[in-house]
Amino acid sequence: MGGARFATLATAAALSAACASTPALPADRPAPPPRQSEGVVVERIVAVVDNEVITLGQLERAVALAQEGGGDNGAALCGRAPAPADASLEQRILDCMIDSLLMFQHVRRFPQFGVIQEQIDEAFAALVAGYESRQAFEEDLERQGLTAAEVRYDLEREALVGNYIDTRYRSIVDIRESELRRYYDEVFIPEMERQGQPIPSFEAVAPRIRPILIEAEVNRRVSAWVEDLRRRADIVVYLW
């Protein structure tokens, strides 16, 4: 069970943190071909996002982790709209990696959204707690080619973007009662009837409906934000 939990988080790590620290290239220059010099292999570049690169090795690790975690649609891993039916898993995950990097590039400019160490410690402890033992966690790290420092860095990046989304979007979403009732009438009741379940009153389920609508609206606004980031960014994809 622990391994499956870590595969999910590690997939997110590959979609976000893996693409952050590679040296940049000018966006208007072609990526150099793979070469080997003095025993050092230079990885193939698959995308450049505002002068920061994503390598083939990073993409391959993300794909492997998504497959291990049971993901069949890379877009679902980062909340993007469904990709075209003919898009490969590699294409979908690369799109996620680009989106994740764009969000991080934007948010890191604002120190007020910084992450306190306690957030990272708590998130890391919760991750380790999903395993039978600390040793099992470390073995899973080694098997997936990750270090504890890399996972903590990913948690920090994830929390940084999360803080921004909470402040910029989630905190200002206001769900009107009319929207709650529309969901109750058009979605909740038909689903209860389909399942043959008794239908509770609107007042009883409204507190459960509200978070669903809040998340849907936050996702809509974040998707629009990411699309705007894409329009303003210099993105070059070399893989296809």
What does each C-alpha distance from 48 to 24, 115, 153, 155 come to in angstroms?
A: 8, 27, 21, 23
Task: Provide the CA 210 distance to its chain's centre, in angstroms.
Answer: 23
Whether the pTM exceeds 0.85: the reply is: no
User: For 155-174, how does the pLDDT look when each residue is reduced to its tens digit (9 = 90+)?
Assistant: 998 899 999 999 999 999 99
Question: Is residue 83 pLDDT above 80, yes or no?
Answer: no
Q: Counting beta carbons within 10 angstroms of the beta carbon of residue 195, is it exposed (0 to 12), middle (13 to 18) or buried (19 or more)?
A: exposed
- Span 25-53, pLDDT tens digits: 333 434 444 444 455 556 789 999 999 99
User: The CATH number of 2-171 is which of 1.10.4030.10, 1.10.8.60, 3.20.20.210, 2.40.50.140?
Assistant: 1.10.4030.10
d(CA 219, CA 223): 6
Q: Report the distance separating Cα 6 and Cα 185, nearest Å.
A: 38
CA–CA separation, 50 and 28 (whole Å): 10
Q: 40: how many CB neighbours lie within 10 A of its CB?
A: 7
AA identity, residue 122: E
Q: Please tell me the predicted confidence (pLDDT) of residue 69.
A: 65
* Residues 17, 123: Cα–Cα separation, whole Å: 16
- Side-chain half-sphere exposure of 195, counting CA atoms within 13 A: 8
Give the DSSP letter of residue 19: G
Burial class (CB in 10 A: 0-12, 13-18, 19+), 117: exposed
Domain-wise residue ranges, the chain: 2-171
